[in-house]
C-alpha cells in the first residue's frame, strides 16, 4: 500500500476537539466536516489539505473519541497522517475509516514531498528513507479493504 | 503473575486478542454514526452474547431539529433491536453503566473516550469509535492489544479540602497528556481502600486524559458493598505481584486543591496560585463530578449563601437528581442562586445548556479544558466540587481551603 503527498506540519498534542469542533458534529453532511476541519487551530488550513500528508508532533488525536475527526481529515483530502505517536481511539478510528496513519518521528518541511509504502514499511522525505513499524495484519487488511465497513461487507 | 488487564483479557501485555464484549454502549453523539456504518455494512442482527445499551446524554433535550431527527432515528433503532435504551434525562452513559450494569471482571466498551470510568469496578472498560461500535453490534466482539500497565500506588488518606478530583489532576499532571498512551492505569496500594466508589469513578474517568486505554481498581469490600446497595453482586479481586511498565507514588495526605489551566488537562497548579482570577460561570456536573455525593458536598458549601456568578449544576443521572430532590440538596443549591440542567453532559462538549461566550471564563468540574470546547473563545479551568463552590460564592477562582 503506497501513497504520496505534500507535507503539512502540525504541532504535538493535537486533540480531536481541534480537528473538528463539537459544534459541527451533529450532521450527516460530511462536507461540513471537510470545510470546518482544524477551524479552531487555523481556519486557513482546510483548503490546503487536499493531497496533504500531515506530519504532526506526538500524541496526535488525543481526547474525545469522535470519529468525525478522522472522517473530516479523509473528506478534506488528507492522504495520511505521520506522527511519533497517536492517541489510541483516534488510531483505531482512522484505520476503521481507511485513513492510513504512520508512526514515525519525521522532521517536517512544510510543502515538501512525502512518500510512503505501508507494505514495505518505509517513509521517504527530504531524500531520506525512514523505516516504520508495520501495522498488525488485521489493520492492514482493514486498510486494504478501504475501512471496517467494507471489511465487514466482504467478511459476512 | 498478571496485571488485572492481563487477567481479564486472558493474555500477556502486547498480545493482540479477539474478545467477546460483555457490555457495549453508545450515546446520541456517537450512536448515529455507528448506525450509519451499521446500515452501510448491511447488518440486521445483533451479536448474541453481549448486552447492548443506547443512552442519550450529549444533547438533551435536542437543541434543534437536525439533532432531534438524528436522535429519532437512533431511538427507533434501539427499540427495534431491543437494546437497553435510556432516553433524554436518564443520565450520562458512564454513570448509568456504573449505577446498574457493570460487574467486576467484565469487558466493557463504550463509544466515548470516558468509557474508561467503569474500570473502577475491576472491569476492563475502554472507549472505541463509532465504526468499531457498529462491528461490535454485529459480532459482539472486537480486537484489543493487551495493554502494559502503569502502577499508581496510593497511600494515606485525603485530608482537608482535597478531593478525588484533585488527586486525579495530580496524577494527570505527573504523567502528562500522553504519559500513559495505550497503557492501563492500575490504582493500587493501601490508600485505595479509603476511597469510595464515587471517588474511584473520578480517578478512572480521568485516566484517558493521560492517553490510557483503561483505568482499573481491584474489586474490594468497598466495591462489593456498592454493588450490593445497587442490587448487584460480585467477587473481590486480589492483586498479584506483577510487573508495571511505569510506577508513580502518591500520598493522598499530600494532595492539595488543584486547578488545570487552559488548554491542557496536564497543566496543573495549586488553586491558591490562581485565587482572584475573575470568572463568568461555574459548572458542576459531568461524568467526572455530577454524582449525588458531589451535589451534596456542593450544597453543603453554598447552603444559606448566594453565588456571585451564574452557576449551572447538572446531575449525572435521574437517580442522582431524584435523590437530590428527596434529601433537599437540590433546594439548597437552587436557593443559593444556581440553576439546574437536565441530567446529561450539560455544556461540557459545547453544544448548549450553558456554553461560553467569547472571552468568558468558566470554572468547571469536568475533565477537559481544550481550546473552544465549551464555546468559541471561552476559557475553561478544571477543579474540584469544593473549588467550584468556593469560586461560585466569590465570583473568582478561590481556594476551598480559605473558606
Do B219 and B122 contact (CB within 8 A), yes or no? yes
Average pLDDT, chain A: 94
Contact map slice: B 130-169 vs A, CB within 8 A:
130-132, 134-135, 138, 143, 145
Question: Start-end ranges of CATH 3.40.1060.10 in chain B?
Answer: 149-254
B181–A85 CB contact, under 8 Å: yes
Cβ neighbours, 10 Å, residue B4: 26
Per this entry, what is the length of chain A?
Answer: 156
- The CATH code that applies to domain B258-394 is 3.30.499.10
Fold held by B149-254: Aconitase; Domain 2 (3.40.1060)
Do B203 and B215 contact (CB within 8 A), yes or no? yes
Beta bridge partners, A15, equal: A62
Q: Where are the domains of chain A?
A: 2-155
How many Å apart are CA B126 and CA B111, to the nearest integer? 9
The three grid cell numbers given for residue A54, joined into one nine-digit string: 500531515
Kindly tell me if the per-residue pLDDT of A54 is higher than 70. Answer: yes
Do B226 and B134 contact (CB within 8 A), yes or no? no
Cβ neighbours, 10 Å, residue B396: 18
Pick from B161, B183, A18: nearest CA to B171: B183
Q: What is the pLDDT of residues A2-49, one digit of tens each?
A: 999 999 999 999 999 999 999 999 888 899 999 999 999 999 999 999
Stretches in chain B below the pLDDT threshold 70: 403
> What was the ipTM of the complex prediction?
0.93
- What are the residues whose beta carbons fall under 8 Å from the beta carbon of B20, sequence distance 6 or more? B47, B49, B50, B107, B140, B141
How many Å apart are CA B135 and CA B140, to the nearest integer? 8
Which residues of chain B make contact with A152, given a CB cutoff of 8 A? 41, 43, 135, 138
Q: Which of B128, B370, B372 sits opposite A92 (nearest CB)?
A: B128
B206 to chain A: closest CA residue: A63
DSSP string, B269-307: EEHHHHTT-B-SEEEE-HHHH-SHHHHHHHHHHHTTS--
Q: What is the pLDDT of residues B53-62, one digit of tens each?
A: 999 999 999 9
**Residue A119: its pLDDT value, please?**
85
Which residues of chain A make contact with B181, given a CB cutoff of 8 A? 59, 85, 87-88
Give the 3-state secondary structure of residue B14. Answer: coil
Longest dimension (CA), chain A: 44
| Angle, helices B93-100/B197-205, rounded to nearest 10 degrees | 140
Question: Start-end ranges of CATH 3.30.499.10 in chain B?
Answer: 4-144, 258-394
How many Å apart are CA A120 and CA B328, to the nearest integer? 66
Size of interface A-B (CB pairs under 8 A): 118
Fold held by A2-155: Aconitase; domain 4 (3.20.19)
Which residues of chain B make contact with A89, given a CB cutoff of 8 A? 113, 127-129
Is any Cβ of chain A less than 8 angstroms from the Cβ of B19? Answer: no
- What are the residues whose beta carbons fall under 8 Å from the beta carbon of B226, sequence distance 6 or more? B196, B197
Burial B167-180 (b: 16+ CB within 10 A, else e): bbbbbbbebbbbbb
State mean pLDDT over A115-143.
Answer: 90
B30–A62 CB contact, under 8 Å: no
Question: Dihedral, CA atoms, B315, B320, B326, B332, nearest 10 degrees?
Answer: -30
Prediction pTM value: 0.96
Half-sphere exposure of B12 (CA within 13 A, CB side): 4
* Domain range B4-144, its CATH number among 1.20.1560.10, 3.30.499.10, 1.20.1330.10, 3.40.50.300: 3.30.499.10
**Residue B38: its pLDDT value, please?**
97
Amino acid at each position: 500500500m503506497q501513497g504520496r503527498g505534500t507535507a503539512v506540519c502540525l504541532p504535538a498534542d493535537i486533540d480531536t476537539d481541534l480537528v473538528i469542533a463539537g459544534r459541527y458534529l451533529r450532521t450527516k453532511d460530511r462536507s461540513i466536516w471537510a470545510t470546518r476541519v482544524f477551524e479552531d487551530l487555523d481556519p486557513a488550513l482546510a483548503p490546503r489539505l487536499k493531497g496533504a500528508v500531515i506530519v504532526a508532533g506526538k500524541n496526535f488525536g488525543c481526547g474525545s473519541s469522535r470519529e468525525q475527526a478522522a472522517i473530516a481529515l479523509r473528506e478534506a483530502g488528507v492522504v495520511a497522517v505521520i506522527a511519533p505517536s497517536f492517541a489510541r481511539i483516534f488510531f483505531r478510528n482512522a484505520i476503521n475509516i481507511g485513513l492510513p496513519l504512520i508512526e514515525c518521528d519525521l522532521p517536517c518541511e512544510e510543502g515538501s514531498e512525502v512518500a510512503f509504502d505501508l507494505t514495505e514499511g518505509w517513509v521517504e522525505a527530504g531524500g531520506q528513507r525512514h523505516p516504520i513499524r508495520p501495522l498488525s495484519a488485521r489493520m492492514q487488511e482493514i486498510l486494504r479493504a478501504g475501512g471496517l465497513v467494507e471489511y465487514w461487507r466482504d467478511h459476512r | 503473575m498478571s496485571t488485572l488487564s492481563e487477567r481479564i483479557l486472558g493474555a500477556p501485555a502486547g498480545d493482540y486478542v479477539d474478545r467477546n464484549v460483555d457490555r457495549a454502549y453508545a450515546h446520541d453523539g456517537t450512536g448515529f454514526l455507528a448506525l450509519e456504518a451499521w446500515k452501510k455494512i448491511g447488518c440486521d442482527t445483533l451479536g448474541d452474547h453481549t448486552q447492548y445499551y443506547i443512552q442519550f446524554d450529549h444533547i438533551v433535550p435536542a437543541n434543534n431539529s437536525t439533532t432531534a431527527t438524528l436522535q429519532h432515528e437512533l431511538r427507533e433503532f434501539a427499540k427495534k433491536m431491543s437494546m437497553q435504551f435510556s432516553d433524554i434525562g436518564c443520565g450520562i452513559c458512564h454513570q448509568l453503566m456504573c449505577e446498574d450494569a457493570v460487574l467486576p471482571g467484565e469487558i466493557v466498551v463504550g463509544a466515548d473516550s470516558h468509557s474508561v470510568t467503569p474500570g473502577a469496578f475491576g472491569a476492563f472498560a475502554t472507549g472505541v469509535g463509532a465504526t468499531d461500535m457498529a462491528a461490535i453490534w454485529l459480532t459482539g466482539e472486537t480486537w484489543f492489544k493487551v495493554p502494559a500497565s502503569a502502577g499508581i500506588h496510593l497511600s494515606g488518606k485525603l485530608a482537608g479540602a482535597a478531593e478525588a478530583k484533585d488527586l486525579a489532576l495530580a496524577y494527570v499532571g505527573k504523567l502528562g497528556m500522553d504519559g500513559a498512551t495505550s497503557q492501563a492505569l492500575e490504582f493500587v496500594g493501601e490508600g485505595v481502600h479509603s476511597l469510595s466508589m464515587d471517588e474511584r469513578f473520578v480517578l478512572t474517568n480521568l485516566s484517558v486524559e493521560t492517553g490510557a486505554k483503561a483505568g482499573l481498581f481491584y474489586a474490594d469490600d468497598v466495591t462489593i458493598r456498592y454493588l450490593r446497595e445497587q442490587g448487584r453482586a460480585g467477587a473481590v479481586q486480589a492483586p498479584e505481584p506483577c510487573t508495571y511498565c511505569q510506577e508513580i507514588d502518591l500520598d493522598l495526605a499530600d494532595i492539595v486543591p488543584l486547578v488545570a489551566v487552559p488548554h491542557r488537562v496536564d497543566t496543573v497548579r495549586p488553586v491558591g496560585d490562581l485565587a482572584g482570577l475573575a470568572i463568568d460561570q461555574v459548572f458542576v456536573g459531568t461524568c467526572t463530578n455530577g454524582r449525588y455525593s458531589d451535589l451534596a458536598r456542593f450544597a453543603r458549601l453554598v447552603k444559606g449563601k448566594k453565588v456571585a456568578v451564574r452557576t449551572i449544576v447538572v446531575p449525572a443521572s435521574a437517580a442522582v437528581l431524584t435523590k437530590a430532590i428527596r434529601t433537599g440538596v437540590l433546594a439548597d443549591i437552587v436557593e443559593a442562586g444556581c440553576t439546574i440542567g437536565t441530567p446529561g453532559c450539560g455544556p461540557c462538549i459545547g453544544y448548549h445548556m450553558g456554553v461560553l461566550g467569547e472571552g468568558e471564563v468558566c470554572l468547571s468540574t469536568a475533565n477537559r479544558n481544550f481550546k473552544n470546547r465549551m464555546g468559541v473563545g471561552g476559557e475553561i479551568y478544571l477543579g474540584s466540587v469544593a473549588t467550584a463552590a468556593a469560586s461560585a460564592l466569590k465570583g473568582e477562582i478561590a481556594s476551598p481551603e480559605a473558606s
